[in-house]
A and B are shown apart, each in its own frame.
Chain A
């Protein structure tokens, strides 16, 4: 369907305006101006912030500079989550532009993964794609691909080339009509509370009887509190790419259209804003 193809483009070109400010404890030689950037939702912070780094390094001495990392209102931002997920999870109540604090020292070793080169991001991205394909096709599609296909997926993301990426990614989205969907849906449900960072389990797109599983079915099984009972006030929002999809939406459709380039459907469950 033509309409559905547009969804892929809309998801790919989703942007979040952000304002980067240097943390007050960083030592500078002169005042550091904030830096504004439009962040692609489907990319990674460390992949798109070379300019931010350059901007702040201009006012800092080399000996004061260690690995750059980001924080929003006291929470270190995990670069290995897609930017859109970080925003939906931590920043969706914030006014725009999203205000991100930049650090060059005291790297939070426990909470953040080091990211000293783009090859680390590439390895992380490819390992997510492989895991997703293990769930969708028992790894058959990703293993049948050539090395250059893997490279093309990565280069497509790195250089923000929708067509380049999707020329290969569509193979990862295929399934036979008799199956009616993937083997399992690669998804993760994030929450800001709770000791575990996310929920990830096996979930099939169809029930044993062949009925289509919806987003509501997924949540009722994995995160019942996110689905309000009848007559109950809605306390939690279920957000994917900044929107609240209808709970009746089939998970197979969501997986094909609203997954991130890493092939996972990232679902954020956040409290309803209280004004």
Chain B
């Protein structure tokens, strides 16, 4: 199992098989943590999807939601949005890509809403920079409108992590490492427990 990870690291890219391996490992952990990730197959392609990960402050129902300050909401009040996250493999960039959408009482989150909570985290000032980072895109497997974090910079921020790991002869789960970087930007929680027992080959506790 470890071979897959070293092979993947040596070229600093992800291929579809490694993506599958990484996701399987992540899903095993998710099953223990019960945080909602599941694996779905659309014809031959695959995606990992997660519905609801955060629990709204005022409402501890089973179904999670993220509370965001939504300027579009009436009276500037807070709305509880139900988020849906998908991780899809991009063969063009050879990276995972994060897609998400969110609804609240039949209203879907707008790009401006998304920008308003992402902007402070990314410290992007111009609209151009925002448009190059996150836009609405067609989900490549579902054909529906989702927001997408653009993958064109993914390799840049993954490279140092992978190179260091390679020097230290340490296994890295590409998908998990990547997710721990991008998820906080969109309010998705990746519990620290994921990072224990990283090696897919090692025995469960």
Contacts and interface: CB of A to CB of B under 8 A. Distances in A.
Interface of A: 78, 80, 109-114, 119-120, 122-124, 126-127, 130-131, 134-135, 139, 186, 194-198, 200-202
Nearest to B43: A196
B42 A139 contact: no
B43 A195 contact: yes
A200 B91 contact: yes
Contacts of A194: 43
Nearest to B133: A123
A78 B138 contact: yes
Contacts of A202: 91
23 contacts: A78-B138, A80-B137, A110-B145, A111-B145, A113-B137, A113-B138, A113-B145, A114-B136, A120-B136, A123-B132, A124-B135, A124-B137, A126-B132, A130-B152, A131-B92, A134-B93, A135-B92, A139-B152, A196-B42, A196-B43, A197-B140, A198-B140, A202-B91
Contacts of A198: 140
A224 B112 CA distance: 42
Interface string B13-56: 00000000000000000000000000000110100000000000
Contacts of A130: 152
B48 to A, nearest CB: 17
B91 A201 contact: yes
A195 B127 contact: no
B87 to A, nearest CB: 17
Given A134-B92, A195-B42, A195-B43, 6 more contacts: A113-B136, A114-B111, A123-B135, A131-B93, A135-B92, A201-B91
B144 interface: yes
